[in-house]
Amino acid sequence: MKKIVIVLVMLVVNLTFTQTFEVTAELRPRFEYRHGFKTLAVDTLDAAVFVSQRTRLNFRYGSEKLNAYIAVQNVRVWGDVSTLASADKNGTALHEAWAEMFFSPKLSMKLGRQEIIYDDHRIFGNVEWAQQARSHDAFLTTYKPNEKHRLDLGLALSSESESLFEIDYDVTNYKNFQYLWYHGNFGDVGLSFLFLNNGLAFDNNGKQEVEYNQTIGSHATFTKNKLKVDASLYFQTGKIAKTDLSAFNAAANVYYGLAKHFTVGLGVEILSGTDMDATDSKLKSFTPWFGTNHKFNGWMDYFYVGNHINSVGLLDIYATFKFKKDKLSAMLIPHFFSSAANVVNSTGKTMDNALGTEIDFVFGYKYTNNISFNLGYSQMFATETMEVLKGGDKDATNNWAWVMITFKPKLFTYSNPSEKQ
């Protein structure tokens, strides 16, 4: 009892000097039906049906000179351990654990496990759709001379464990990275620039070395009344292992509000690829390294979500139809996919570049501020060329359906704006 009293006293003393302190939670179960998700279905295999769940507990602290955030999460599939299990299969992990200190209103420094998100999530994103999501162990310095301009410097250095001497790094991850990101608002135009130096470890005749590749590019937005436009262009150079890299990514989207609740859009994206019959050794395949790739190129994740890396690239032409009114929302997106480089089958025949058509639909309902319902359905109509890349059967019913409920309760909030540290 004495120990409990001491802890409570310490908590009260701490809150006396705390500007804000908040505890929130997230519970997100999701049912999925997969028959041709990520790869074409095979008639001899039945569809996968399961429920996954993300559970998070979030602690946020804020004051004049310090912000801190800790997000603890458990990711599971219902039934992945028995009802009498003494431990979870995946256990509990720290999704985020960072502190940010402010040297002045214009300059701050943030260290620890953190999500890194820029622009439209194409190069840096938190992959929110995935139950585990993405975060980085990184150092970030931010300079904001005013509300319209921001400059970030990010650094990361990865090691597998503490050691007395250098040891190999065998985690599927970068060995280190350094980047600069600038964003400025100029009236109706937003403009960002990114330079990323990405170091990847590889084995060179039994000795691990690190080689670097660079991603350089820009993302721009324009908003005027009912019209929204965005465009991006990135180049990649340097090396991956011993292979020279020369690749690019270009994208553009136009959205227009037809009526109060309806928006239509048209978009195109090309990610360069390497010909399957290439005669040189240069790699021409673009890789969106840390992006929220599920957001792009169809929600069935046929491209760049743990697959299609260093492949024939992609040309994605799509339309967007959105409806949003009060608590209801709906979106329909048809995609027309083609390879950006030559696809060659097992007999040496160069295939047609058309890969197929995917249709994505999602419906959302916000029941309360902290409870939301979402469901989606997607179907892929593939070609023979897709069969060459993915295997499986293009004539099978390749579809995917899901239903998700998200609960975000606020458990505790304390605020004392008059106190400063």
The pLDDT, as a whole number, for residue 17 is 54
SS3 at position 130 = coil
Structural tokens at position 93: 């992990």
Please tell me the class of the 30-53+108-128+137-415 domain. Answer: mainly beta
Give the closest residue to 194 by CA, choosing from 233, 238, 143, 222: 233
Whether 15 has a pLDDT exceeding 70, the answer reads: no
Which range has the worst mean pLDDT, 19-28, 82-91, 182-191, 345-354?
82-91
Q: Per-domain residue ranges for the chain?
A: 30-53+108-128+137-415
In the structure, what pLDDT confidence band is assigned to residue 417 with cuts at 50, 70 and 90?
low
In the structure, what pLDDT confidence band is assigned to residue 5 with cuts at 50, 70 and 90?
very low
Buried b (16+ CB within 10 A) or exposed e, 235-251: bbebebeeeebebbbbb
Instruction: Tell me if 131 sits within 8 A of 106, measured CB to CB.
Output: no
Average pLDDT over residues 233-260: 97
Give the closest residue to 353 by CA, choosing from 401, 316, 399: 316
* DSSP states along 173-207: S-SEEEEEEEEEEETTEEEEEEEEEEEEEEEETTE
Cα torsion 348, 350, 351, 353 to 10°: value is 140
Whether 99 has a pLDDT exceeding 60, the answer reads: yes
Whether 7 has a pLDDT exceeding 50, the answer reads: no
Other residues' Cβ atoms within 10 Å of the Cβ of residue 358: 25
Q: What sign does the CA torsion over 310, 312, 315, 321 have?
A: negative
Considering all CA atoms of the chain, what is the largest pairwise distance in Å, rounded to the nearest integer?
A: 79
Whether 420 has a pLDDT exceeding 60, the answer reads: no
Instruction: Tell me if 344 sits within 8 A of 351, measured CB to CB.
Output: yes
The pLDDT, as a whole number, for residue 14 is 55
Structural tokens at position 205: 């005749």
pTM for the full model?
0.92
Average pLDDT over residues 145-151: 97
Bridge pairing between strands 207-224 and 398-407: unpaired
Kindly report, residue by residue over 46-87, the tens digit of the pLDDT: 999 999 999 999 999 999 999 999 999 999 999 999 999 989
Average pLDDT over residues 232-256: 98
Eight-class DSSP state of 327: T
In the structure, what pLDDT confidence band is assigned to residue 8 with cuts at 50, 70 and 90?
very low
